[in-house]
Amino acid sequence: MSPPSIGEKPRYSALRLFLEGLRGQKGWGPAWRSPEPKRRYDAIIIGGGGHGLSAAYHLARDHGLTDVLVIEKAWLGGGNTGRNTTIIRSNYFNRASQAVYDASLKLYEGLSRELNYNIMFSQRGSIELAHSAAEMEGLRRVVNAMQVNGIEASLLTRDEVLDMVPLLDPRRDCRWPVAGAMIQRRAGVARHDAVAWGYARAADGMGVDIVQNCAVSGFRIEGGRVTGVETPFGLIEAKVFGMAVAGASPELAALAGFRLPLLCMTLQAMVSEPLKPCLDQVVASTPNGAYVSQSDKGELVIGGGLEHLPSFARRGGLAKTREVVASVVEMFPSFSTLKLMRQWGGTVDTSPDNSPILGPSPVPNLFLNCGWGTGGFKAIPIGGKLLAHLMATGRHHPLSEPFGLERFATGRLIDEAHAGVAHD
């Protein structure tokens, strides 16, 4: 059986997998092309992370715009998309945020099938712990706010939590006693690289060009509009541009002549040596500043809060690593014997209200998708869809309307500082 040509939906997948196994997996072709870019496109997206690739996919699929180029400085998904701890949930406080994140969660639920690419979405539930009656009251407010808007979430008693997560320290007099929790059962984790690769393959299949190792180093602006971007291949022109570059957003904005209200900081994560399955949910404690889940390989995937220093170093500091490990071990004493295997960081673009920026930039045909900070992996499906809508129509989709840049002037902020462990 010959390998499917690029973009062709592989049929007979199980048979193909079996046959490839017999011949040592030698028949797989690249999942997307690596074309030399043309001089001119209808649309250019800067940034080949999840949001940029999802936007390219939606431009082609939802709007029939296939003369599209994605330009990536390094490798696809090598930014925060490939560095995050993959938590997908929609337990946010404001109605506008809940609408965006829950639309994204729903898209994730069908994504493996839609892209014909296994993103390994595991809806194992996300538990947010409370350690006191006052913290329980805070969680009750979030659960109420979600239920009012028709989004599933519920409270767990102390006994229910300890039943579900037996490795938590059950003592009432320990440093972080369990008082109860909030659970969103539809929440979970997915394979981050697969999300980027799945979107890349699907977009490529519809004719989108993807170019890696190609940094945008400048904008050509004529008559107040962007007409092209400077790249190692020279100037590449287009009618409309989208920017989805996360931690590089302030730098790119400066090249286009405007400023963004974003601070870039390091968020780190780490994994332990692999263990037999022992933790069935994602467990987070915002008060304690740590969270943990178990990967399919068995490693504990651990993270904590931001390093509150502006930085572009994609490596967390030892002080924060220690703090996070201590927090996890205080909650799960039996994890204290584990070895830490790897630690890394990503540059996250945090906005003043911990909500993303989606909308037109001050340059009319350049549209923004940024400011997701510590929480944008869960939003990749919807973030791309909303950027594509902006680029194709020049107008907001109703879901992105509240997230425009102008909210920092009007004061209509969407405060999500307490929407999770790394969100403040």
Using CB under 6 A, pick the residue from 74, 134, 148, 254 that binds ligand FAD.
74
Task: Return the structure tokens found at 411.
Answer: 């004061």
Binding test (CB under 6 A) with ligand PYC, winner from 43, 53, 65, 87 = 87
What is the residue-wise DSSP string for 141-171?
A: HHHHHHHHTT---EEEEHHHHHHH-TTS---
Q: Which of ligand FAD, ligand PYC, none lies near 83, with the C-beta cut-off 5 to 8 A by kind? A: ligand FAD
Is-contact 375 419, C-beta < 8 A?
yes
As a whole number of angstroms, the distance between CA 214 and CA 70 comes to 10
Binding flag, residue 203, ligand PYC (CB under 6 A): no
State the minimum distance, in angstroms, from the CB of residue 392 to ligand FAD.
19
User: Between residue 242 and residue 301, which ones bind ligand PYC under the rule CB under 6 A?
Assistant: 291
Per the CB < 8 A criterion, the answer to whether 302 and 325 are in contact is yes
Residue 390 CB, nearest distance to ligand FAD (Å)? 15
Write down the least CB distance from residue 389 to ligand PYC, Å. 23
Question: Does position 69 bind ligand FAD by CB under 6 A?
Answer: no
Q: Which stretch binds ligand PYC (CB under 6 A): 28-36, 83-91, 201-209, 383-391?
A: 83-91
Q: Where in 166-195 is the site for ligand FAD (CB under 6 A)?
A: none
Q: Does 369 bind ligand PYC (CB under 6 A)?
A: no
Instruction: Name, in order, each residue with C-beta under 8 angstroms of 137's C-beta and a sequence gap of 6 or more.
Output: none
Return the residue of 188, 376, 381, 404 that touches ligand FAD, per CB under 6 A: 376
Position with the least CB separation from ligand PYC: 375
84 interacts with ligand FAD by CB under 6 A: yes
Question: Given CA atoms 124, 84, 304, 407 in this order, what sign does their dihedral have?
Answer: negative
∠ Cα 347 351 355 (to 5°) = 110
**CA neighbor of 305 nearest in space, from 294, 282, 318, 321:** 321
Q: Which is nearer to ligand FAD, 143 or 348 (CB)?
A: 348
Told to check if 107 binds ligand FAD by CB under 6 A, we report no
Q: Who contacts 298 (Cβ-Cβ below 8 Å, separation ≥6)?
A: 274, 275, 276, 277
With a CB cutoff of 8 Å and minimum separation 6, the contacts of 407 are: 353, 413, 414
Does residue 422 bind ligand PYC (CB under 6 A)? Answer: yes
**Total interface residues for ligand FAD by CB under 6 A:** 39
Smallest CA-to-CA distance from 250 within 267, 241, 263 is with 263
Stretch that binds ligand FAD, among 243-251, 317-325, 333-341, 360-368 (CB under 6 A): 243-251
Q: Does 380 bind ligand PYC (CB under 6 A)?
A: no
Q: Which amino acid is at 284?
A: A
Segments in 117-245 forming alpha helices (H): 133-148, 158-164, 192-205
**Rule CB under 6 A: is residue 85 a binding residue for ligand PYC?**
yes
**Any contact of residue 346 with ligand FAD (CB under 6 A)?**
yes
Is 400 among the residues that bind ligand FAD (CB under 6 A)? no
- Of the two residues 10 and 218, which places its CB atom closer to ligand FAD in the complex? 218
- Measured from each CB, the residue nearest to ligand FAD is 49
Nearer to ligand PYC, 304 or 404 (CB): 304
Among 68, 153, 238, 269, binds ligand FAD (CB under 6 A): 269
Report CA-CA distances (Å) from 76 to 30, 72, 99: 13, 7, 28
For ligand PYC, the closer CB: 112 or 374: 374
What's the Cα-to-Cα distance from 295 to each of 34, 179, 282, 290, rounded to whole Å?
Answer: 31, 26, 10, 16
Give CA–CA dist 280/220, Å, rounded.
51
Q: Which is nearer to ligand PYC, 200 or 379 (CB)?
A: 379
Between strands 263-274 and 299-304, the pairing is antiparallel
375 binds ligand FAD (CB under 6 A): yes
Residue 381 near ligand PYC by CB under 6 A:
no
Size of site (CB under 6 A) for ligand PYC: 11
Report in angstroms the alpha-carbon separations of 152 from 89, 92, 106, 121, 148.
11, 12, 12, 18, 10
Residues that bind ligand FAD (CB under 6 A): 46-52, 71-74, 78-81, 83-87, 215-216, 244-246, 248, 252, 267-269, 303, 346, 348, 372, 374-378
Residues that bind ligand PYC (CB under 6 A): 85, 87, 89, 291, 303, 374-375, 378, 420-422
